[in-house]
Amino acid sequence: MAQKVLITLLDDMTGQPGDDIETETFAVNGQAYEIDLSAKSRQAFLSALDEYVQNARKVVVKAAGRRGAGSVAAGMRESRAQAELGKIRQWAGRNGIKVAQRGRISPQVFKAYDEACGRDLVKPEPAPAPEPEPAKPVRRRAPAKKAAAAKAPPTPAFTD
């Protein structure tokens, strides 16, 4: 028996379905969030943040290694979130770009998607390297002195 599953995306702000709904990922106070927004709601969201974004510093978030998830960066890795990859594949299909349903998506497709969505593609300048702390002097211990008793002659026994 065959099944057909339909997923309807709703704008999280209005509750309305739409063909233009996309997931927006952002972080506040060390916590990553995602919200599904229509083009109109997304524009309102970005407009509300515009003044803050204009005055903020861009941060490059490095992907966490295998050993740990890290900080907020875990949700905001250089690689795209799994949910966003599905949306990129859908967008590519609607725009005549061939993308496999599984596996890697080429950087050209990511770039085209970002341009179509109006995302900022300017790479942030690398942060200056922190100045090294001055070296602390190494405290060395004086060689251990052998016990004075080892050098002194044995104490004579007293006899009466």
CA angle 42, 32, 35 (to 5 degrees): 30
pLDDT per position as a tens digit, 105-128? 888 888 888 888 776 544 455 667
Choice between 59 and 81, residue whose per-residue pLDDT is larger:
59
Sketch the domain layout of the chain as residue ranges. 1-77, 80-119
Q: Beta strands of the chain (E only): which ranges?
A: 22-28, 31-37
* Non-local CB neighbours of 72 within 8 Å, separated by 6+ positions: 27, 30, 31, 32, 61
Decide if pLDDT at 60 tops 90. no
> The domain 1-77: what is its CATH number?
3.30.60.230
> Could you read off the pLDDT of 91-107 as tens digits, one per residue?
888 888 888 877 788 88
| Whether the predicted pLDDT of 156 surpasses 70 | no
Proportion of the chain above pLDDT 90, given as a percent: 11
Strand partners, 28: 31
pLDDT of residue 61: 66
DSSP 73: G
